[in-house]
Amino acid sequence: MFELENIRKVFGDGTVAVEGISLAIGRGEHVAFIGPSGAGKTTLFRLLNLTLRPTSGIIRLDGLDVTSLSDAQLRDARRRIGTIYQQHNLVGRLRVVHNVLAGNLGRWSTMTAVASLVSPRDVEGAQRVLTQVGIPEKLYARTDGLSGGQQQRVAIARVLVQDPDIILADEPVSSVDPSLAASIVALLRDLSAESRKTLVMNLHSVDLALAHFPRIVGIQEGRVLFDLAPDKVGAELLSTLYAGHGKEEIQRERFDEILPVSGVCRPLRP
Amino acid sequence: MSDSTRSFPSAGSVGRFVPRSYFGVTFALLFLLTLGGSLRVAQVDPRLLFERESLANLARFVGGMFPPELSWSFLSLMARPVLETIQISVTGTLVAVLIGLPLGLLATGSLTWSGILHEQRPAAGRWLLGFVPYALARALLSVFRSIPEFVWAFMFVRAVGLGPFPGVLAIGVAYGGMLGKVYSEILEGVNSQPLEALHASGAGKLGIALYGLLPQALPNVISYTLYRWECAIRASAILGFVGAGGLGQQVELSMRMFQFNEVVTILGLLFLLVAGVDFVSGRIRARVVR
């Protein structure tokens, strides 16, 4: 499905976010990425969902080099990849139904998109995916009125409407409380397994990763430190992975959130 | 630079070259010079106000205002100009939105050329494809708004004749320029994360604008448009002076005939009108901006 060949990403300010990553992810596979904040996991996800262009190296999606794609092909490719973000990235002022149906934008014509804002198209579809994520009653609620966990479910519902072949989830549970976190990770895993989708997840919580994923990739300073089954990931490896990241971790995390807005990240643009 | 300037890290890039204290003194001097020069050039001379002839003119003007003309026949004559003023401002603002919104969208860098997350270096051809409409829209907007609505009205009166229509066009074009500029600034300022999500799901630019940009920007867009409508009411009074209809034209007629008591009545009406519009737009704003 995905093949990365010696991917590097250097930002405009000289920061090296990804330093030579090569790996392959097969169809229907479930993979968790773990590692300290600032290791380049979020950048790696932006490369995988084709919003960032690598500085060097090749990304292949089903054997096709993505840098060779035309604008239209690139949009088609993006439509096949659904991304779930840490901050939900929903529009708070819109009703849930519109945020969910926004998953259709990759295939809707502009006219349909406009019409749906006036009178929602495919309400049954929206209702169905909201039922799948467990909040069918929120269909017409205003999105910013929902709790963090509910908003994350709306974001998942949007990806289900998009119906991609690959689901990328970038720290999907770090802004919800721990008891919800496990249920959301399990939900994503089960939904992907049901529809045979590839699932790639960045996780802050090592325990969640080890409990729910058959393949664990440790990322450190933009490189792959290990790529193993969960039972091979021991305490020693983990302490190497997180070496030097104690309290500082929390500060780094906030820095991570500011990056995209301040314009350091440069995505692939048609 | 030298060691002494290194001790002013908070003064930013300027402080690296000029120590802060000189900076302040230089500015103060420049300010005084500018102010002094302005007073001279603008021919500010308070004595002129108190010369006998000025005072006599002023007295005639103010004296002529009272008692205000409040006869029914005059007031009923004003009904039409009042309505006309409201209609000029509403239609003019509508035209301004029709001009400002599309141009404002084109002038939004994140939509046309710099990318949602500020991608800078796409291939040269593509860069131009986005940058040219962006720059054209910016230029057009700045031409529209840098020419005062008064001058636009003057030109449109020549083009389409006397009446409210040139007023509508003047407000539409001049305010279209202002709205477009402010719209683009509002649109650039929205949270980019939801836009990134839509972008990543394969949505096109219009889809991103419809489901990400506009919903986030809507409260500010509506609020600013209403504010412009309030300004349009005031402007439509001025535009009457060059023959673009509304209350302004009545003020001009009464002035020319030295009927200052009528002038003061019309100004009173204008005041009520502006207060009414402020009230209405305030109510709409309170409902929309939540």
Average pLDDT taken over every residue of chain A = 84
Considering the domain boundaries, does residue A229 fall inside one? yes
Q: Do A91 and B117 touch (CB under 8 A)?
A: no
Q: What is the ipTM of this complex?
A: 0.84
Q: What is the DSSP string of B141-197?
A: HHHHHHS-HHHHHHHHHHHH-SSHHHHHHHHHHHHHHHHHHHHHHHHHTS-SHHHHH
- pLDDT confidence of residue A32: 94
- pTM (2 d.p.): 0.76
Q: Is the pLDDT at B130 greater than 80, yes or no?
A: no
In chain A, the number of structural domains is 1
Q: What is the DSSP string of A186-213?
A: HHHHHHHHHTT-EEEEE-S-HHHHHHH-
Average pLDDT taken over every residue of chain B = 83
Q: Do B192 and A162 touch (CB under 8 A)?
A: no
Q: Is the pLDDT at B33 greater than 80, yes or no?
A: yes
Q: Which of A45, A89, A121, A262 should we substitute to test contact with B (largest number of B Cβ atoms within 10 Å)?
A: A89
Q: What pLDDT digit, counting tens, does each position of B134-176 carry? A: 899 999 999 999 998 889 988 998 888 888 888 899 999 999 9
Burial grade of A141 (CB within 10 A; 0-12, 13-18, 19 or more) = middle
Q: Is the pLDDT at A257 greater than 80, yes or no?
A: no
Q: What CATH number corresponds to the domain at position A256?
A: 3.40.50.300
Considering the domain boundaries, does residue A28 fall inside one? yes
Query: What's the domain range around A66?
Result: 1-80+214-270
Lowest mean pLDDT, pick from A86-100, B32-46, B199-213:
B32-46
d(CA B62, CA B48): 18
Q: What pLDDT digit, counting tens, does each position of B201-242 carry? A: 988 888 999 999 999 999 899 989 999 998 898 888 788 888
Q: Is A4 helix (H, G, I), strand (E, B) or coil?
A: strand
Residues of B with Cβ-Cβ distance to A105 under 8 angstroms: 198, 201-204, 207-208, 211
For residues B259-279, average pLDDT:
88
Q: Is the pLDDT at B121 greater than 60, yes or no?
A: no
For residues A229-235, average pLDDT:
86
Considering the domain boundaries, does residue A270 fall inside one? yes
Band (pLDDT 50/70/90 cuts) for residue B113 is: low
Q: What are the structural domains, with CATH classification, of chain B?
A: 3-62 (no CATH), 69-288 (1.10.3720.10)
Q: Pick the more confident residue, A266 or B251.
A: B251
Whether the CB of B289 is below 8 Å from some CB of chain A: the reply is no
Considering the domain boundaries, does residue A19 fall inside one? yes
Residues of A with Cβ-Cβ distance to B218 under 8 angstroms: 93
- Nearest CA of chain B to the CA of A241: how many Å? 29
Q: Do B117 and A267 touch (CB under 8 A)?
A: yes
Band (pLDDT 50/70/90 cuts) for residue B94 is: very high
For residues B182-206, average pLDDT:
89
- pLDDT confidence of residue A246: 56
Considering the domain boundaries, does residue A184 fall inside one? no
Residue of A nearest to B195 (CA): A89
Q: What pLDDT digit, counting tens, does each position of A122-150 carry? A: 899 999 999 988 899 999 999 999 988 88
Considering the domain boundaries, does residue A108 fall inside one? no
- pLDDT confidence of residue B124: 60
d(CA A19, CA B284): 54
